[in-house]
């Protein structure tokens, strides 16, 4: 079993922080937690002080993923296992930990070169409860972490081995999809009851390696209202409403101003390691999740607000 108990936070680098802030707060319903001296921002969507850090830059991609462990002893245990596997580990300064709103952290890189941060002691703010700018019911986090990420990498097999053999994640299931370009293989991995905290896909061509970040809401209506609000505001619907085959998530995907997507979902399946068995699927969704490259989303009832044509 892994010391890692969930995805704790995400750092992204974007070309237009102001556009991303408007997208995150006005559409997704995230709370602006703090403005940073370098022009970046902290966002939150629960009692944690920080769940996403957005900083200015040209990458328009993920900068790092932060993984939570339970305490200092578990952080040392993870560091020892990483070093035993030949991975360089850097204990980071108190100043960096303070900027991440955690007690302590270390950093390392995966086979694809992405920076990961393992930490313990996140700052919680029960005295200042999460307050969404929108009238939504909140997000499912807690012991499941803040959500999941899906990454496109150059060597998926090496990446999966790293997460399983070194970091201690467990494989949840696989999806093998037949495409005109050939088979497309996805591996889903968990470290908590959340169906997956990370999924690994092959990288095909240019573009961000971060395919999407998933946020799971507590109320189904919040998926529907956000789906139509995204269209009213002229954001690109990357994939229409649909139900995934493996984790049962009912969701849609919306493109961020940085290019990667946010999956906004409800009803995700939970994993019990005592009874779970690895499965395989041949379709990503039971229905829906139609890419905007192939079809436009359903029309929005007239509201007097012009919608831009969505195309990808």
pLDDT of 34-73, one tens digit each? 999 999 999 999 999 999 999 999 999 999 999 999 999 9
> Distance between CA atoms of 136 and 116, rounded to whole angstroms?
31
> Distance between CA atoms of 31 and 9, rounded to whole angstroms?
14
Candidates 3.30.2350.10, 3.10.180.10, 3.10.20.30, 3.30.365.10; CATH matching 142-288: 3.10.180.10
Kindly report which listed range (149-158, 167-176, 179-188) carries the lowest average pLDDT score: 179-188
- Residue 76 exposed, middle or buried by CB count within 10 Å (0-12, 13-18, 19+): middle
| Over residues 182-202, mean pLDDT | 96
Question: 116-132, pLDDT tens digit by residue?
Answer: 999 999 999 999 999 99
Kindly report which listed range (38-52, 172-186, 296-310) carries the lowest average pLDDT score: 296-310
Q: For the chain, what are the domain ranges?
A: 6-120, 142-288
> Distance between CA atoms of 243 and 141, rounded to whole angstroms?
20
Give 207's pLDDT tier (boundaries 50, 70, 90): confident
**Residue 258 DSSP code:** T
How much is the pTM? 0.92
* DSSP tally for the chain: helices H, then strands E: 5, 18
Residue recorded with tokens 């939970």:
270
Question: Please, what CATH class does the domain formed by 6-120 belong to?
Answer: alpha beta
**167 neighbors 83 (Cβ within 8 angstroms):** no
């Amino acid at each position: 079993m892994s010391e890692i108990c969930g995805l704790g936070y995400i750092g992204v680098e974007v070309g237009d922080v102001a556009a991303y802030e408007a997208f995150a707060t006005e559409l997704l319903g995230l709370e602006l937690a703090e403005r940073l001296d370098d022009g970046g921002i902290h966002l939150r969507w629960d009692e944690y002080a920080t769940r996403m850090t957005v900083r200015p830059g040209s990458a328009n991609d993920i900068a790092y993923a932060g993984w939570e462990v339970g305490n200092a002893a578990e952080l040392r245990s993870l560091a020892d296992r990483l070093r035993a596997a030949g991975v360089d580990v850097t204990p980071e300064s108190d100043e960096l930990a303070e900027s991440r709103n955690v007690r302590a952290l270390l950093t390392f890189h995966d086979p694809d070169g992405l920076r990961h941060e393992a930490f313990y002691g996140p700052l919680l703010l029960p005295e200042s409860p999460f307050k969404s700018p929108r009238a939504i019911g909140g997000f499912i986090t807690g012991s499941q972490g803040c959500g999941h990420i899906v990454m496109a990498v150059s060597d998926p097999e090496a990446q999966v081995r790293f997460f399983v053999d070194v970091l201690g994640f467990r494989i949840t299931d696989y999806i093998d999809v037949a495409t005109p370009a050939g088979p497309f293989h996805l591996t889903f991995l968990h470290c908590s009851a959340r169906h997956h905290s990370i999924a690994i896909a092959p990288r095909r061509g240019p573009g961000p390696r971060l395919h999407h970040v998933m946020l799971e809401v507590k109320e189904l209506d919040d998926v529907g209202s956000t789906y139509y609000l995204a269209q009213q505001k002229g954001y690109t619907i990357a994939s229409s409403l649909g139900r995934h085959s493996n984790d049962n998530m009912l969701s849609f995907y919306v493109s961020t101003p940085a290019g990667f997507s946010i999956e906004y979902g409800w009803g995700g399946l939970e994993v019990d390691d005592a009874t779970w068995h690895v499965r395989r699927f041949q379709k990503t969704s039971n229905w829906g999740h139609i890419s905007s490259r192939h079809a436009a989303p359903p029309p929005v009832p007239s509201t007097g607000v012009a919608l831009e044509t969505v195309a990808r």
